[in-house]
Structure 1
């Protein structure tokens, strides 16, 4: 049955056809005047392939900011636009999509530089956007090296983008910029004072935002509505240096957590650490739509205008994709956040709850490993007096954490029962000093593994759940959960994405020399080993700790299986590139080289660790503070001998060059203390503030200083 063509379909056909046409000079056409006021977020390009690229802008009429606006796109081989390959009129920057416009241009030439701009016509004038520059990928059989910048985590609030300024200053010859998460942060500036009003984030509709209690009488607003998320992208993209980087290089982008919500999994936020239910699918979909509106993304779209509304959103999202850059690079861009399960230790877990009882440990042959009294537990229902004291203590703690007395009582009845670890229960009973309800003798009691043995000390906390988890006990629990769930407890990529990745890695499917897996979170294992530190007090703190199990350390068995596949299916030519942790790492994990780029501007991990350690009661000057903050880099090296390079107190980016024999990585770093210094008009001082460290990644899994 015949149908009239949809306008969008017509535009797609026109663009596809026009892209193969050479346009001559247009000496008689009116000149293009400076129209930057109509393009407040400038232009951008993304997802370059050998024959296509996606071009983006946001066009707004300052006199009619709520109206749709017609736009012309011009693409040429030269900056003067004399040798045009496309000129398409009648494109619409729609108010329904915050005036954003994306066009996929096809039938281009491989490894070719193109210039582009968008034009609006107003009162007889032709007003143009800034001129963007982009480049297509090399042909599949091209033997040329490929160079890209690796970047992530660009908090805008009260911070300057000195890292982007430096990249522009270097004028690197790059094929693309790979941005691997936290393009925005979902919060406004309520809790982050800024001396510069230009570095402030405010929501135009604060009533539609979500209030977040930060404790201590402090709070902030976090994005919830579509309007809120759009405000964030508009604000971040207002930065002149970020605009210029987008104008100069195509981007390949994937999200991490802050594009939706800190430490998220699927559509679940983690702000309240289990005090409330935080399943927020509508908020998740809002965040994704804004991302699709502002990121030039090619998710197998046909030629022409890309409608963000047509892209599947949660729970059907798919942004994982791959790219071929010549003969030597196959890039697999993965999505760690959308399909992953919950963190293995619940933030609201009762520390005394026995996760693995004596029977489970015996079945695994681990009885001897947990024979000490510290692992003793009892069925607290057999000790009603002690159970009553523990429930009372739970209620008191839960109310102090913000629960109502009724909700706290309900939780106490549900959790303070059955098998409970004496390592947590006895100190509570000792402190309560209730007659007839004292501590319970561990002699002769069964042994098991409880959440307290993994570092969980508080009822509602990320510490002992997402951060600062005792490695050796956590690994036992994680392996058991992995085996008893057929891997589902650690299936970070979900079944479909993992099957796609492994299928593409298999021999013959990807003939490119190097297979590079893009992960928004780091594969480098970050350990604090305090076992042999006699000055660490109290002695119970002398353990090995995973610093951050929101990252791959939190899924150790799945991480191991993926690394094995990467190493085994690539003939030693695998590489993982990552971000998120706000530190620079180069390490070899299970024979696979892993490069983690520092943050563009977000709080360095050394500073974040300092705040956490002080909050836990270990002030500067204590041994714990010295090892895990002051000497953090050395402690990470001791905990993970595979680390070849680490800097936990710097911002910057990494430039990666992939060639036939090796991969080169250059870390460009500026001290994190410089993030609040505006070097915009001081390029010489900026250059002097940066350092550079170079490394070579060789087949078979070695990283050497260059």
Structure 2
């Protein structure tokens, strides 16, 4: 709930709003002196509307770190605060919320630049925060173009925010910055500490964090609300991020790392199915810190201080919201993570399990498509000797993956039964070489689709479940699941209905902010004769954690948005740590590069090597060295792709068209500190410009 305003505050507000000029004060106020030490994370603004904005700070008195800090907020139309339009006193940055404070200011003028500062009184002095600059949205009937930057994925650990430094250099005239997720990463720096201590992340209460085995070591991931607050404090210690927040209002949505990597609902995915990872308390802790540290107003709070504790959290979370910027832009900010279902292929799925049997394929008219021996299956219960061999192999693999013997045996009994695909069963039986338990002849056996046919060849793995999934069989499986259970409903019914309805609004362009990219990222190895073994020559989705994991729902949403918006709809996204400009089902999509997180080309290399295809192999060449070419071949709708660079995208929305500029720096520079070398930094950046029109993207 909002904090009550003092009577003097209310009177000042009335005077300020009525006059919109300098605030007359009956007494001469002492000057505001520099008080930077009280505001370690500086100031920020966000969620700008034509009549208001949210202002944020964090204030700490180092002499009394456990005490609340009383603050005054001043807002003016000039940087010297001679034309003040608002003054609020009696505000409190409370210890209960990590000394953060958010204030919703209303009754402002549309399309107007404002300056703001927070003031703490100490020893008869008035000590001020850094001065922030913000801008309200233009009036709904204003025909002015709207400019904003799209950014995402700013891993802090051992990296530098060169992209933010470059944006500040350019001094772009922006209405706002759209941040589409992964503002923080939930891990500390235990496994790979930075040689620069200032770029490390640690937890003040490590005992409340969760240990996670990764890369041959153990890192800590945020669990308690104090852990998540530690992350925001560390990330906001960066001077360039602070300056960007102080210069432009932000509109923010989250992706996964604000809670947990590749999350869905309140489920983490660290163990790939080895353990139950439903973590609602952890999810609520993550959300509370997010609401404390982001200048966001998801509930349309009344004017005044916003109590983060009063913002609904899981399972009642709602951060999807829309903004109107003049007559040309309706911005629709979506939430892909909170309401989405599980990934369609379970990480702990037994590869041999038949997901679609002969009867299902026949009902869909697909019997002929899967008629070869590769899709034969048997009821393994009719082969007890072989079943015992398979269960023994399962136990061995599960124990090697970290399960206790008893747990592994119980899972083996539950998984190794019923209809199993010979494409998985027979290689296991062959390797076991047990007398009387050899491979089973596929002749005369029914045909079906198992998880092994989708690319899953191991237990408890993300490969073949969330990443590197065989496209053609996955599409069949995903369509069947959607038709029978609605398993692709990523946004939830209420959010989806809102999104489609909003497409009919009066603004010229509808821009949809999605944390994950709608661009289809396909590796097509079918015609690559030098790829060995031949069984690898398939089409693959690189990541089905993104919209590729819900292909039918993506098509349905894009078609619906395009039709309702008269073709003038654009998606902007992030997450994948690469730059894309593509047209998907007639809808243009712009995916901004990561600010600093590991480029997708490097991540793909790690995945491919782990799968047994080292540098020099044909598979490695096509899906790492020549990744951009492979993506283009797999999706002819891609107009531009850069899988190696970092940066940001500037978008300008006008009456007839949208212009987009990609500002890119090589990933090799992400661990180089250019803070004292601005000219060198500028020389490292390149720019690519594009023109977006209904259903089309062309180079500009």
Give CA deviations for 1:115-137 in whole Å, capped at 9, x if unaligned: 00000011111110000000000
Aligned pair in 2 of structure 1 residues 463, 516: CA closer, same or farther (>3 Å)?
same
Aligned residues of 1:606 and 1:629 also touching (Cα < 8 A): yes
Deviation at 1:17, TM superposition (A): 4.0
Answer yes or no: is 1:629 the counterpart of 2:624: yes
Aligned residues of 2:117 and 2:128 also touching (Cα < 8 A): yes
Give CA deviations for 1:404-441 in whole Å, capped at 9, x if unaligned: 00000000000100000000000000000000000000
Match of 1:665 in 2: 660
Q: For 1:364 and 1:156, locate their aligned partners in 2 and report how far apart those are by CA, in whole Å.
A: 49
Answer yes or no: is 1:492 the counterpart of 2:490: yes
Alignment of structure 1 residues 112-191 onto 2, 5 Å:
112-191=112-191
Match of 2:43 in 1: 43
Q: For 1:573 and 1:14, locate their aligned partners in 2 and report how far apart those are by CA, in whole Å.
A: 46
Aligned pair in 2 of structure 1 residues 83, 482: CA closer, same or farther (>3 Å)?
same
SS in 2 for 1:177: strand
Match of 1:705 in 2: 699
Q: For 1:117 and 1:389, locate their aligned partners in 2 and report how far apart those are by CA, in whole Å.
A: 71
Q: For 1:398 and 1:515, locate their aligned partners in 2 and report how far apart those are by CA, in whole Å.
A: 49
Aligned pair in 2 of structure 1 residues 15, 375: CA closer, same or farther (>3 Å)?
farther
Aligned residues of 2:157 and 2:189 also touching (Cα < 8 A): yes
Match of 1:645 in 2: 640
Deviation at 1:501, TM superposition (A): 1.1
Q: For 2:553 and 2:15, locate their aligned partners in 1 and report how far apart those are by CA, in whole Å.
A: 47
Give CA deviations for 1:319-371 in whole Å, capped at 9, x if unaligned: 00000000000000000000000000000000000000000000000000000
Answer yes or no: is 1:522 the counterpart of 2:517: yes
Q: Which runs of 5+ in 1 are unaligned?
A: none
Alignment of structure 1 residues 476-625 onto 2, 5 Å:
476-485=476-485, 487=486, 489-506=487-504, 510-625=505-620
Deviation at 1:15, TM superposition (A): 8.2
Answer yes or no: is 1:20 the counterpart of 2:29: no
Deviation at 1:379, TM superposition (A): 0.1
SS in 1 for 2:515: coil
Give CA deviations for 1:475-514 in whole Å, capped at 9, x if unaligned: 00000000001x2x011111111111112223xxx10000
Aligned pair in 2 of structure 1 residues 558, 241: CA closer, same or farther (>3 Å)?
same
Aligned residues of 2:274 and 2:348 also touching (Cα < 8 A): yes
Aligned residues of 1:16 and 1:106 also touching (Cα < 8 A): no
Match of 1:239 in 2: 238
Match of 2:90 in 1: 90
Match of 2:318 in 1: 318
Answer yes or no: is 1:289 the counterpart of 2:283: no
Q: For 2:11 and 2:225, locate their aligned partners in 1 and report how far apart those are by CA, in whole Å.
A: 31
Give CA deviations for 1:77-135 in whole Å, capped at 9, x if unaligned: 00000000011111000000000000000000000000000000111111100000000
Q: For 2:622 and 2:13, locate their aligned partners in 1 and report how far apart those are by CA, in whole Å.
A: 59
Deviation at 1:62, TM superposition (A): 1.0
Aligned residues of 1:583 and 1:646 also touching (Cα < 8 A): yes
Deviation at 1:13, TM superposition (A): 6.2
Aligned residues of 1:19 and 1:105 also touching (Cα < 8 A): no
Q: For 1:588 and 1:474, locate their aligned partners in 2 and report how far apart those are by CA, in whole Å.
A: 22
TM-score where L is the length of structure 1: 0.97
Aligned residues of 1:19 and 1:107 also touching (Cα < 8 A): no
Deviation at 1:29, TM superposition (A): 1.7
Q: For 2:241 and 2:167, locate their aligned partners in 1 and report how far apart those are by CA, in whole Å.
A: 10
Aligned pair in 2 of structure 1 residues 681, 414: CA closer, same or farther (>3 Å)?
same
Aligned pair in 2 of structure 1 residues 653, 438: CA closer, same or farther (>3 Å)?
same
Aligned residues of 2:2 and 2:306 also touching (Cα < 8 A): no
Q: For 2:15 and 2:179, locate their aligned partners in 1 and report how far apart those are by CA, in whole Å.
A: 30
Alignment of structure 1 residues 388-467 onto 2, 5 Å:
388-467=388-467
Deviation at 1:606, TM superposition (A): 0.2
Match of 1:693 in 2: 688
Q: Which runs of 5+ in 2 are unaligned?
A: none
Match of 1:278 in 2: 277
Q: For 2:6 and 2:509, locate their aligned partners in 1 and report how far apart those are by CA, in whole Å.
A: 39
Aligned residues of 2:114 and 2:135 also touching (Cα < 8 A): yes
Match of 2:357 in 1: 357
Alignment of structure 1 residues 318-337 onto 2, 5 Å:
318-337=318-337
Deviation at 1:24, TM superposition (A): 3.5
Q: For 1:14 and 1:514, locate their aligned partners in 2 and report how far apart those are by CA, in whole Å.
A: 41
Match of 1:8 in 2: 4
SS in 1 for 2:117: strand
Deviation at 1:28, TM superposition (A): 2.9
Deviates more, 1:652-661 or 1:16-25: 16-25
Aligned residues of 1:183 and 1:259 also touching (Cα < 8 A): yes
Deviation at 1:151, TM superposition (A): 0.2
Aligned residues of 2:2 and 2:305 also touching (Cα < 8 A): no
Match of 1:373 in 2: 373
Deviation at 1:8, TM superposition (A): 2.8
Q: For 1:190 and 1:352, locate their aligned partners in 2 and report how far apart those are by CA, in whole Å.
A: 37
